[in-house]
Chains A and B, each alone.
Chain A
C-alpha cells in the first residue's frame, strides 16, 4: 500500500515537466519561507493535494490488477494537474513574462524570450538549454523553429551573440559569488 501511495504522490515520471523539477521533502511545519538570490522573499503555506480513487470490483474481476493501476493513474493525473496549476501560478507571479502579442511561435520569438531570461552554463562553459513547455499541438512547429535557429545563418549568429552575452552575464554573476570586505 505504501509503495502504491508513493507511485501516486511522489513519482512524477510520465509528467515530463514536473519530473524535471527537483523535489524536497519538508518534514514538519505549515510551509516554507523562501529567500531568493535576487533578494525577493516568499512565504508559502503547504496546500493539500488530493486525488480520488474509485475501483470497481467487477472491473477488477475482469481486468485484474490493471484496474488498480488505472484507478491510481487517474488519481495521479488529478494530483499532477493540481501541482502543475500551482507551478504556473508561482511562475506567473515570479518570472518576467514576454507577451508575443498573438504572433505564432517562431525562432524570432524564442530569441526575444530568451533575451529576458538568465542563462546557466555547466562547469565546462556549455550552455544549459532552457526547457521549453508548449502545448503538444505546437510541438512540430517548435521543432521546426529550433531547426531554423540551428540552420539559418542570420538566426544562428543572433543566437551565438545572445549566448555570448548571456555567458558574460553568467560569468559576472559567478564572479560575484565571493566575499568582500
Chain B
C-alpha cells in the first residue's frame, strides 16, 4: 500500500521537489554527494554531482514529472548537451576528470524521443564525450523501493498517520510534535536492529519518508514549515546517532543532505520576504487579527535572523540589506503569545542589537521580562503558556478553540525569564534587573534537563528532570554576572556546538529545549556576550543553574 503512495508521489513531483529524496537514494546506494545545484539552476547542465561507490564521477540532470516527448526533448537538448560535453567545475574536482552523465526523469520517454536521445548520445560519444545514461520512472521506483528496504512502516497505525501527513493542508503550520514522533517511530530501537549498516539504512529510509511529506510544504511555499520539518529530520538523525552510537560516516551523508534541504527553504523564505512589502496573508484576510499576524511576524523574523547568523558563521557575510529593512519595518508587529516565542525573540534581539542598535535589542528583552513578570505573578490567571505549547495551540487558546481538558495553569512559573534576565546581566543592565527582580523572583524558574544527548533530540524525554529553581535572596550581582558570562560548554550536546549552524534551527523548532544554558550558548556563539567554558571552569564560577545567593 505504502509503495503505491510513494509511487504516486514520485510520478507527480516536480524535478526540484525530488532532488533531495533522489540524493538520499544515491546515498543509500553508496554515493557521496559532491554538489547539488541551487534552485534547479543546473550548473553546466548538472543538477547533482556525486561520486559513485566505484570512484567514478556521476552527473545528473533531473526532469519531470511530464513525459519527455520529442518536442520536450528538443527543448531540453542544449541542457543535456551541456551535461554530457562540459566538464565538472567544482573546487573539489579536477577539471580534467571524466564523468558519467545521467538524464533522469520521473516520467516516461515517449514516441520518437527515446530514439532521438539515444542517437544524440551515440554521436556525442563518437565525438569523444562520455555516453549518456538514462534513468526513467521505473528505474527510479526500483531505486526508491530498494532504498527503503525493510524500513517502510508496516504497522497500520503508522501507515494511517503517514497518509494523514501526506494529504495535509500544506499551507498550515507543520504539526511538529506529531511529525517528530512519527519519524522517531521509524527509527525506534526495535526497528533499527543494530548499529552500523542497519542504522544507516533506517536513517536513509526515514529521510526519504520525511521528504515525501516535506516536499509538499515546499511546493506550497510554506518555507518555515518545511525548514522546521528538515530540522526535525536532522534532530531525529542525531537522536538515533546518539542512542545507538552510530558512526559519523554512517549518518553524516544523510545529515549533510538534510542541511542542504533545510537551507534551501531558508533561502526561499528570504527570497520571498525580500520581495514582499508586508506579511499580511490576503487569502485569509478576515482572520488576519493582530495576534495571528503578530505570531507570523515573530516566526518569520526569527527565521530570517537565524539565517543571517548561519550565513555569517559560514563566511562572515554582511547582512542582506532587504532582510534588515524587513526586520526594521516589521518589528512593531511582532507579538508575544507564549513562552515558545522565546528563541525567536532572543535571536531577533541579537540581530537587532548588532545592526539597528543595542538599545532596540535590549528593549525587546525588557519587554519580554515585563510581560512574563506582570502576567505570571498574578494569581487566578492561566498565565503565559510554557514552551511546551506551540504557537498554534496558544492561538487556539486565545481564540477559545481549545477543549477544556487541554487547559493548564502557567502562573507562578516561567521557563524563559531567567534566560532573558541572564542576557541583561551580560549586557550590564543592572538597573533593569534591580527593577524587575523583586517581582520576577516570585516565579519558579523551570528548565527541563535532558538525561543524555539522545534525549535532547527527541521531542519528549523520559529520563531527565525538570529543574525548578526558587532563588535564595538576596542575589549577588557579581556572582550572577560571573556565572552568566561563563556558560558550560557541556550543558548542550557537543555535536550542536561542533555543528553550530544547526543550533538556531534546532532552538526555533524545539523551543522546549531552549534551557537557560542553551540560551547562554546562543548568546555566547551569536551574541558574543559570554564564554563557553569547561565544566570544571563553570563549577569554579558556580553553577549557572542557580542564581547564587549573596554571602
Contacts and interface: CB of A to CB of B under 8 A. Distances in A.
Nearest to A1: B405
Interface in B286-329: none
Contacts of A118: none
Given A37-B470, A177-B474, A22 B409 contact: yes
A3 B403 contact: yes
Nearest to B430: A179
B402 to A, nearest CB: 12
A111 B327 CA distance: 61
B465 A181 contact: no
Interface stretch (A25-33, A83-91, A162-170): A25-33
A30 B472 contact: no
Interface stretch (B78-86, B168-176, B274-282, B475-483): B475-483
Residue among A24, A32, A36, A176 with most chain B CB within 10 A: A24
Contacts of A39: 472, 549
B412 A22 contact: yes
A180 B477 contact: yes
B461 A179 contact: no
Prevailing SS type, chain A contact patch: loop
Interface residues of A, number: 32
B238 to A, nearest CB: 17
A32 B436 CA distance: 26
A31 B461 CA distance: 11
Contacts of A43: 465
Interface string A9-42: 0100000000000111111111111111111000
Contact of A28 (B434, B437, B442, B461): B461
Contacts of A6: 404-405
B409 A23 contact: yes
B404 A29 contact: no
Interface string A146-181: 000000000000000000000000000110111111
A5 interface: yes
Contact of A32 (B403, B412, B467): B467
Given A39-B549, A173-B473, A178-B437, A29 B448 contact: yes
Contacts of A135: none
A30 B465 contact: yes
B88 interface: no
A126 interface: no
Nearest to B442: A177
A30 B250 CA distance: 32
A33 B462 contact: no
B391 interface: no
B550 A180 contact: yes
Residue among B404, B405, B430 with most chain A CB within 10 A: B405
A90 to B, nearest CB: 14
A124 interface: no
A28 B405 contact: no
A26 B197 CA distance: 37
A38 B465 contact: no
B449 interface: yes
A32 B464 CA distance: 8
Nearest to A23: B409
A133 B475 CA distance: 35
Contacts of B550: 180-181
A6 B512 CA distance: 24
B469 to A, nearest CB: 5
Contact of B461 (A5, A29, A173): A29
**10 smallest beta-carbon distances between A and B, as pairs:** A6-B405, A176-B473, A177-B438, A32-B466, A27-B388, A28-B460, A29-B464, A180-B550, A37-B470, A33-B465
A37 B471 CA distance: 5
A179 B475 contact: yes
Contact of B464 (A24, A28, A37, A179): A28
Q: How large is the interface on B (under 10, 10 to 19, 20 to 34, 35 or more residues)?
A: 35 or more
A38 B480 CA distance: 18
Contact of A178 (B408, B438, B460): B438
Contact of A179 (B449, B460, B477): B477
Contacts of A94: none
Residue among B434, B437, B467, B480 with most chain A CB within 10 A: B467
Interface string B439-472: 0011000001100000000001111111111111
Contacts of B341: none
B462 A28 contact: yes
A29 B470 CA distance: 20
Given A5-B405, A179-B477, 19 more contacts: A22-B409, A25-B408, A27-B512, A28-B448, A28-B462, A28-B464, A28-B512, A29-B448, A29-B463, A32-B466, A33-B465, A34-B468, A35-B470, A37-B470, A37-B472, A43-B465, A178-B434, A179-B434, A180-B550
Residue among B430, B472, B512 with most chain A CB within 10 A: B472
Contacts of B437: 177-179
A33 B451 CA distance: 13
A131 interface: no
5 contacts: A26-B466, A29-B448, A29-B461, A30-B462, A181-B550
B548 to A, nearest CB: 11
A178 B203 CA distance: 52
B405 A3 contact: yes
Contacts of A10: 405
B73 interface: no
Contacts of A5: 405
Given A176-B473, A178-B434, A181-B477, A30 B463 contact: yes
B433 interface: yes
Interface in B382-403: 386, 388, 403
Interface in A35-94: 35-39, 43
Nearest to B459: A28
Interface in B403-423: 403-405, 408-413
Contacts of A27: 386, 388, 448, 460, 512
A22 B411 contact: yes
B514 to A, nearest CB: 14
Contacts of B122: none
A35 B449 CA distance: 14
B268 interface: no
B512 A36 contact: no
Contacts of A24: 408-410, 412-413
